[in-house]
Chain A
Amino acid sequence: MTMETMNNYNGTILIVDLDAKSCSTQDLTEELIEKALGGAAINMELYEQYKDREPLILGSGFFTATFAPAACGGVITAKSPITGKIAHVPFGWQTGVELKLTGFDFVVVLGKAAAPVRLWLHDGLSDINDSADIWGKDVWESTDKLREVYGDDMAQMLLIGKAGENKNPLAVVSENYWGGKDKAGLGAVFGAKNLKAVAMRGLGSLEVADGFFQKCVELKNGIIAGTIKGKAGLYDIGTALGIDAAALDKLKSITHRNDAGYNCAYPYYTFLKYNEAPTFVDMMGGSKEPGCLVSDLMGFASLAAAGVDAPRAMEKCYRLGLEPAAAGALLKKQGAGIDGLDGLAAGGAADGLAAWSVAGALDSAIAAQTTAFSMAVPTRAIFGGQLDADGWIKRQALAYVLGIDPVMAVLSPEITVENMAELVQISAEWDDFSADTLNTICAELVKKSA
């Protein structure tokens, strides 16, 4: 077997020992890449290696930050305080790319800090910094503060709010200001480690194999001509999935613009403006905080069903670092208004979680097999094609290993195991890599995560 690993990775795993407040590195070896390829599958290998130290692992996928379609993804792996089992929580938009370009492909966080800390990863360097300055501050204030402290508006964050600090199982790991795909309570794992944030700025580089760019352009052109053609934003996804029409009409009425994660051909992040006219644009003027960016339809619909102002409630969940789908279900149960979210973030219990963790027959079919993947990702085909529970799990495993956005993996039936295996071959000049090998790695991931 030969491969050019520098086309896909920096070659470095960072080990962060919070007990000793020290960092060290180990090589990302060809043997490990050959065995598990990347993303959640390598995270699982590292989890096993360090499982006695309550590991929390951040990993980048094999294609993360490359020209491969939708290659924006990273994945956090830890034991979920909700299920007691392994959870893989994807992070994307620009955060996955930023992790890889810091110079660290994987980050293993062990133990617990004696006092609040954050990690600052940049230019192949890692710092564990005290974080009394932002502990107790909400996600928005903390993101602003960290960008100011580190002097870079483009720094990307994974961080927690009050819910995570309180080790509440409803806590999420947020991507910058905007929540994320954490339905597994990994925000509480950050909190239990006294880890407020991981701040990342990546100015590193990867090499590129001959022919890789053109092959990726071909694949991208196939995706944009496929089932997503003519569609955009959360509104079109929600309509296709049959989400409550009144909630969607509200969303549409205040939509400012649809945004996409790195190299994603469908913009499923929708920015809602409710503190100024939705069409207002001015770099210097207007509200500094005109609204919020929404990508979690399940959360939005749940808050709408609770009878509260869903866009503003989303913002409040983001600030508190609170999972919006569960929060909506609990508000409804309590008959509470938006202010009830403060109480949910303050508490340490999660009564009523069952209302949110499994919703609908197909979700139950998935949950019967695995709870390792994020239920923030729609569980059926959206604009075309067929997707049963087995198919969804396989597509998610593929996305989580390769660093492909998991929603894009559902939106783009044009992304197949076969063409991804061919792309691995081209990308790493790895001639004997096959679709069978990729299938086996994905199946092993599902099995080991059970």
Chain B
Amino acid sequence: MAVISENGANTRNLITRLWSNRETRSVIIQIVTLTVIFATLAFIFRNVVINLDARGKEFNFDFLFHPAAYDITFSPFIEYSSRSTHLRAAVVGILNTLLVAACGIVLATLLGFIMGILRLSSNWIVNRTVYCFLEFTRNVPVLLHILFVHGLIVIQLPVPKKAVNLADSFFLTNRGFFIPKPVWESGSGLVAVVLLISIAFVVLFKRWAKKAQDSTGRVYPVLGISTGVIVGATALAFLAADMPLSWNIPELRGFNFSGGIAIKPEFIALWLALSYYTSSFIAEIVRGGILAISHGQTEAAHALGLRPNRTLQLIIIPQALRVIVPPLASQYLNLTKNSSLAIAIGYMDVVATVGGITLMQTGKEMETMIIVLLTYLVFSLIISGFMNLYNKKMALVER
């Protein structure tokens, strides 16, 4: 009896000893965590195998090479017809996601910076108007914005026959917006080459000017010269090549417009709604970033004799950007992820093509969802990768 109880006490002692040692305790916890996770994964894997078997399905990606047999009405980059493969449909979806995300990021940044700066204005009425707009936009779900803008376009805008006519070349209708399409004629290659050369020149000039400023202190009007060179050279080349550009203007034929570029209402609705929704967050970030720079910086710059615009350019903006860019990047990521709401209004992005119709037609839930998830994970990895690079470049060097 005594021996047994002593043994029991010994083992208990051993366990408490192991547990109170920090190193062994951490090893035990990690082993337990790993075991639990692997057991869960194995359990899920087993269930998946059994369930797939029970439904007579196989896990493979062969369906990607079968004809998709559904239409995608919006494929601005690559050819697509209902006889194309599911893979092609997936690519169209991914490109559409990228398109709306890229356009959205540009417009949202623009709007966000303008509104952020207006929020700092001393002008009471402008300040309050922008504030009300921002608060209302931020506090209403983005899906509601998307549905609302889509409804506005589809219900409120007139049919093509009575289109809103802007300067006889832009037409707004409930079937989409129709804008002139540039047609490049022979000789436009020359213009493009000149444009590229002038951009290269400007980049080199900028570097040289910075070096010159660092060593001599002389400031060159970089911005003026750069714009002058780019615009001037390109315009000269354009004239010299006898204006190799004409516009294909949309025309009303029957019930719809033909010619020009047709932008689908779904795209416009998604683009506008995502942009102004995200811009309301960007505006707050910009405002916060500028306010974060203490007034002492401005005063110090003025004391050094810098003019107000140089102060802004050399002192305030570089410091504010350090505060602004990281949350800005996460807003870009949010916009990209929110573009998946396209499915609510029928814009064919990656969720609507692969995760929607392809899934429904092939019944391949696992495979299609894996493709969708991977697409977004890759986007977010790319954006956060750029972010980290930027942060490394801009990080404060402290003593």
Partners in one complex: no
> Interface residues, chain A, CB within 8 Å of chain B?
none
> Interface residues, chain B, CB within 8 Å of chain A?
none
